[in-house]
């Protein structure tokens, strides 16, 4: 094979038009000829490297089974993520009271756009919200405790 033929094949190689046999012929030519022009040196390195990489075989994939402990930890993580998401949603609900401090330093509390005018109504709404959050946390903690008991066995 002549140098001119190799240059044509190299152009086709960079255009993605060569076959594996042609690429092997180019690599063989570049490996056996030491008197190459400087412009082909980078191509020589690329082709010789890629031709040796074809011989490397990837290791077989190993199937990893999940242990009981790992499955329980994944379950706990899922419950915890759901609890955090629920808590975030609860914080984002717009029906919660809004408290505004007026210029005269008095506090005004709004629920669904309506001002709560008595301290008892404000305290009742705060207790309702905190009670709901507390109940949700207790339910989540009970489920987590059940999973911890299963993990110990």
- Higher pLDDT: 87 or 99? It is 87
| H or E segment and range at residue 9 | helix 3-14
Distance CA 139, CA 144 (A): 9
Placement of tokens 């405790």 in the chain? 145
In a domain, 11, yes or no: yes
Say if CB 31 and CB 43 are below 8 A apart: no
| H or E segment and range at residue 114 | strand 114-116
Q: What mean pLDDT is reported for the chain? A: 76
In a domain, 78, yes or no: yes
In a domain, 60, yes or no: no
Distance CA 44, CA 49 (A): 8
44 and 94 inside one domain = no
Placement of tokens 């690429």 in the chain? 23
Q: Which domain holds residue 47?
A: 3-53
Distance CA 46, CA 40 (A): 10
In a domain, 79, yes or no: yes
| Predicted TM-score (pTM) of this structure | 0.35
* Cβ-based neighbours of 7, under 8 Å, separated by 6 or more: 40
In a domain, 63, yes or no: no
134 and 91 inside one domain = yes
In a domain, 32, yes or no: yes
49 and 74 inside one domain = no
82 and 146 inside one domain = yes
In a domain, 85, yes or no: yes
pLDDT digits (tens, 9 = 90+) for 54-97: 666 777 777 677 788 878 888 888 888 888 877 777 666 555 55
Q: Give the three-class secondary structure for 36.
A: coil
pLDDT digits (tens, 9 = 90+) for 18-47: 888 888 888 888 888 878 888 888 888 877
Rounded to the nearest 5°, which phi and psi values hold at 110?
-115, 140
46 and 74 inside one domain = no
89 and 19 inside one domain = no
Q: What's the total number of domains in the chain?
A: 2
90 and 138 inside one domain = yes
């Amino acid at each position: 094979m002549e140098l001119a033929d190799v240059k044509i094949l190299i152009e086709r190689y960079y255009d993605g038009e060569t076959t594996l046999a042609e690429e092997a012929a180019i690599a063989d030519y570049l490996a056996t000829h030491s008197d190459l022009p400087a412009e082909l040196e980078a191509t020589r390195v690329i082709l010789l490297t890629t031709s040796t990489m074809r011989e490397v075989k990837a290791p077989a994939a190993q199937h990893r089974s999940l242990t009981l402990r790992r499955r329980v930890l994944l379950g706990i993580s899922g419950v915890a993520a759901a609890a955090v998401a629920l808590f975030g949603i609860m914080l984002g609900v717009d029906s919660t009271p809004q408290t505004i401090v007026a210029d005269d330093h008095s506090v005004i509390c709004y629920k669904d756009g309506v001002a709560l005018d008595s301290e008892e109504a404000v305290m009742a709404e705060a207790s309702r919200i905190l009670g709901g959050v507390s109940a949700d946390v207790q339910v989540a903690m009970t489920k987590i405790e059940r999973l911890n008991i299963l993990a110990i066995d």
